[in-house]
Amino acid sequence: MADCRPLGFLISLPFAFLSLILSLVGLIVWIIGSVLTCICPCCICCVGVANFAIELIKLPVNIILWFIELIPC
């Protein structure tokens, strides 16, 4: 129970919701980037876009963990 920080979790929920919307945008960008990479594998910029989209998809979890670590009680 030492790692339980409910206040940090509750404060992070609105920001996690906003980042959830961004992660949905990231999902769409990732799908488009993956299709473009399959069609034209020589297009290296699509790989960078797909990696950025994956970071957007992970954003809600990262924000919740950041708030939980930030709030000490």
pLDDT tens digit at each of 73 positions of the chain? 456 667 777 777 788 788 888 888 888 888 887 787 788 777 676 777 778 878 888 888 888 788 778 776 6
Residue 69 vs residues 19, 30, 32, 63: alpha-carbon distances, Å: 18, 29, 34, 10
What pLDDT sits at residue 73? 61
d(CA 58, CA 40): 26
Which DSSP symbol is given to 44? T
Q: What are phi and psi of 29, to 5 degrees?
A: -65, -40
d(CA 44, CA 53): 15
What pLDDT sits at residue 1? 44
